[in-house]
Amino acid sequence: MLKVVDGGGELQPQEQAPRPDPLGELAVRAANGDDVAMRALLRSVATPLLSAVRAIVGRNSPDVEDIAQETMVAFVHALRAFRGECSVMHYASRIAVRTAMAARRRRLSRENRADAFEEELELEFEQHAASPGHEAWASRRRALLRALLDELPVVQAETFALRVALGYSMQEVADATSAPVNTVRSRLRLAKEALRHRIEQDATLTELLGDEP
Amino acid sequence: MNHPVDVHPEDLLDRERDGALTLEDRRRLDAHAAWCSACALVRRAGTDFAVERITWRDDEALAQSLANRVLGATRSVTPPGVPARSRAPQSAFIARSRRRRRSWTVAAVVMFAATGATASLWSVRRFLVAHPVVSPPPSLAATAEPRKAPAAKPAEIAAVTVGPETAPQAPKAVHARAANAATTRPKAAEEPVVAPPADQLFAAANEARRRGDSSQAIKLYGQLQQQHAGTREETTSRVLLGRLLLDRGEDAAQALTLFTRYLDTNPNGTLAEEAHLGRAVALMRLGRAQEERQAWQQLLSFHPHSIHAERARRRLDELH
């Protein structure tokens, strides 16, 4: 048997020439009032935007459709401000994260935070009721991290959401937020400190770190 | 603080995300996660969220429907000359959307009532024809014809984009709908399937590999290579897929092609060392001794301090 590999190293962006943004031209045309381009562009980003919104608010959240729609409207409006400093998809994802986080915070400002957290856990458990083990634990971890996003300062929360909920690399987060990589590191460090504090405060959360049943 | 990680943990998490951790990296990351509860949780949650981001065809239909609604309203939302970030029209649009949804609900209730009423009237008529004596039926409701079940929405019966095996957590109902699609709506099968984004496929494939489901991982890496050729994820997956094929003792020729294609694209790539080793092992399996010898020599030439150097030298001795 081949015993390679856990070998390798980091994937460095500079090892390949940067690819042109496949949506870049469409975005420019759409921003200049080309209706056809706008339609093609919005249809291209629609599914990733829905996916990003779901990652932030939860797949079973009753508000997903409204928030996704709100995100698309925000994207259309924000297109004129797009300067090409990151890919169109990253730009759209950042708008999705901001819109979805704002929607969660609006909702939480109307409701008791503890009740909302419990409700979210129930939604997650309903979704995975048929598959207890791994998915139930995954649901708890997601709910915990979403709750943390609600409490962090917006910039930290946005960085943390792009990194954890959307799975962006450090460089991608830096590109999407127009911030240096070291600033991203710093924001993530602060977010993780808050997370660590939360885990230390609640002993039941430490079980999320252990082996799953 | 003195702790066992001298590479930034975020960089190690990036490498893990890309499936590019070395053994040493993994040891460092494990050691760090052993004392840093936040990194430990985030590390696990990465997979949790990746699984949740997988796109199903239901999602495609819903997203396109939402996009169409927004496009239909865009002209009224952003008339020429109006500042792009005006919030009022957006709120108005969302409110309109909610009102529209309420309207549909009201319409559905009216339709339901109308259907029930029609059915009831029809029953009464049949009852009167069968029973000429004029007397009201004891229970109209009991004799009413059952309503037909409402037709499923296209999104509900569409097939799943990534296949049931791609996301084992998917509700069973979705698979049932996918199975029905071929019989109830043959056109649905002809509709073009939009590929999941490269990063999602890559994450799902890596997740399958980590949990030991190599068949699923091979399938997903293959899908990634077909649908996202040239992306960073696809390039990296050549080495990961090649390794999986060799680990399973399968198709050394395909593995060889994958390693060679990686090196053609990334001769100095960060997985080049593994690709060189993979080529040598694949050629050994294929019994192509002369090329195998060259492959080991290339490994030593490009990576003289490789952890595989000793193995390469031993094998070269055997080949002489």
Q: Report the pLDDT value the prediction gives residue B105, as an integer from 0 to 100.
A: 45
Which residue on chain B is closest to A65 by alpha carbon?
B66
Structural domain of A57: 21-209
* Beta carbon pairs, A and B, within 8 Å: 218
Cα dist from B98 to B50, B95, B105, whole Å: 30, 5, 11
- The pair of three-digit structure tokens given for residue B211, joined into one six-digit string: 């949990």
CB nearest to B243's CB, from A5, A42, A142:
A5
CA dist A30 and A38 (Å) reads 4
Average pLDDT, chain B: 66
Please tell me which residue, B119 or B21, carries the higher pLDDT value: B21
Rounded to an integer, the average pLDDT of B165-176 is 32
Specify the long-range contacts of residues A131-140, CB closer than 8 Å, at least 24 apart.
A131/B169, A133/A212, A133/A213, A134/A212, A135/B169, A137/A208, A137/A212, A137/A213, A138/B44, A138/B45, A138/B47, A138/B48, A138/B51, A139/B48, A140/A208
Task: Please tell me if residue A136 touches chain B, with a CB cutoff of 8 Å.
Answer: no
Helix axes B37-53 and B198-210, enclosed angle (nearest 10): 120
Contacts of B48 in chain A (CB under 8 A): 138-139, 141-142
Q: Which amino acid is at A119?
A: E
Partner B contacted by A210 (CB < 8 A): no
Whether A38 sits inside 8 A of B74 (CB atoms) is yes
Looking at residue A122, what is its pLDDT?
A: 54
Hey, are the CB atoms on B41 and A208 less than 8 Å from each other?
yes
Nearest Cα residue in chain A from B38? A196
Instruction: Note the pLDDT of residue A162.
Output: 95
Query: Would you report the helix, strand and coil content of chain B in percent, each value rounded to 5?
Result: 70, 0, 30
pTM of the predicted protein model: 0.52
CB A81 to CB B84 under 8 A? yes
B173-189 as b/e, with b when 16 or more CB fall inside 10 Å?
ebeebbebbeeebeebe
Q: What band does B283 get if pLDDT is binned at 50, 70 and 90? A: very high
Contacts of A144 in chain B (CB under 8 A): 41
Q: A79: which DSSP letter?
A: G
> Hey, which bits of chain B come out as E strands?
none
pLDDT above 50 (res B87): no
- Tell whether A7 is covered by a domain: no
Residue from B17, B52, B285 to probe the interface with A (highest A Cβ count within 10 Å): B52
Contact A7 B41 (CB under 8 A): no
B125 versus A209: which is more confidently predicted? A209
Please report the pLDDT score of residue B209 as a whole number. 74
A4 touches chain B (CB under 8 A): yes
Report whether A206 contacts A213 (CB < 8 A). no
Which residues of chain B does A93 touch, with a Cβ-Cβ cutoff of 8 Å?
none
Residues of chain A with C-beta less than 8 angstroms from the C-beta of B85: 77-78, 81
In a domain, A10, yes or no: no
| Best A1, A3, A11, A145 residue to mutate vs chain B (most B CBs within 10 Å) | A11
What is the count of structural domains for chain A? 1
- Band of residue B307 on the pLDDT scale cut at 50, 70, 90: low
Counting every residue written for chain A, the total comes to: 213
Residues of A in contact with B23 (CB under 8 A): 6-7
B277 vs B143 pLDDT, higher one: B277
Task: Nearest chain B residue to A209 by CA: give it.
Answer: B41
Per-residue pLDDT at A19: 61
Tens of pLDDT along chain A (213 residues)? 333 333 333 344 444 455 678 889 999 999 998 989 999 999 889 988 998 999 999 877 888 999 999 999 999 999 988 888 888 999 999 999 999 999 988 887 765 554 555 555 555 544 444 344 556 677 778 888 888 888 899 999 999 999 999 988 899 999 999 999 999 999 999 999 998 888 887 766 776 665 444
Residue A62 covered by a domain = yes
Q: How far apart are CA A26 and CA A34, in angstroms?
A: 9
Position A74 in a domain:
yes
Answer yes or no: do A208 and B44 touch at CB < 8 A.
yes
A145 touches chain B (CB under 8 A): yes
User: CB–CB of B66/A63 below 8 Å?
Assistant: no
Q: Does some domain include residue A1?
A: no
Confidence at residue B60, expressed as pLDDT on a 0 to 100 scale:
78
Q: Give the percent of chain B with pLDDT over 70.
A: 56
Amino acid identity at B154: P
pLDDT of residue A96: 95
Of B41, B63, B270, the CB nearest to A12: B270
Contact A76 B70 (CB under 8 A): yes
Residue labelled with tokens 């709506």:
B185
Segment B215-222 shows an average pLDDT of: 89
- Asked if A69 and B94 come within 8 Å (Cβ–Cβ), the reply is yes
Q: Which of A123, A116, A127 is nearest to B51 (CA)?
A: A127
The verdict on a CB contact (< 8 Å) between B20 and A8 is yes
The pLDDT of residue B33 is 87
pLDDT value of position A118 = 54
pLDDT digits (tens, 9 = 90+) for B249-277: 878 999 999 999 989 988 876 678 888 98
- Identify the pLDDT of residue B145: 36
Q: Do A135 and B169 touch (CB under 8 A)?
A: yes
Exposed, middle or buried, A203 (CB in 10 Å: 0-12/13-18/19+)? Answer: exposed
How many other C-beta atoms lie within 10 A of the C-beta of residue B152? 14
Of A201 and B146, which is predicted with more confidence?
A201
Q: What pLDDT, on a 0 to 100 scale, did the predictor assign at position B260? A: 94
pLDDT on residue B311: 81
Q: Which residue has the higher pLDDT, A158 or B102?
A: A158
The label of the residue with tokens 């930034």 reads: B8
Distances (CA, A) of B263 to B236, B277, B307: 11, 11, 19
**Rounded mean pLDDT of B280-303?**
91
Cα A170 to Cα B197: distance, rounded to the nearest angstrom: 19
pLDDT band at B136 (very low <50, low <70, confident <90, very high): very low
Instruction: Please check whether residue A25 touches B, CB under 8 A.
Output: no
What ipTM is given for this predicted complex? 0.76
**Contact residues, chain A, for B265 at CB < 8 Å:** 16
Q: Do B50 and A142 touch (CB under 8 A)?
A: no
Name the pLDDT band for B23 (thresholds 50, 70, 90).
confident
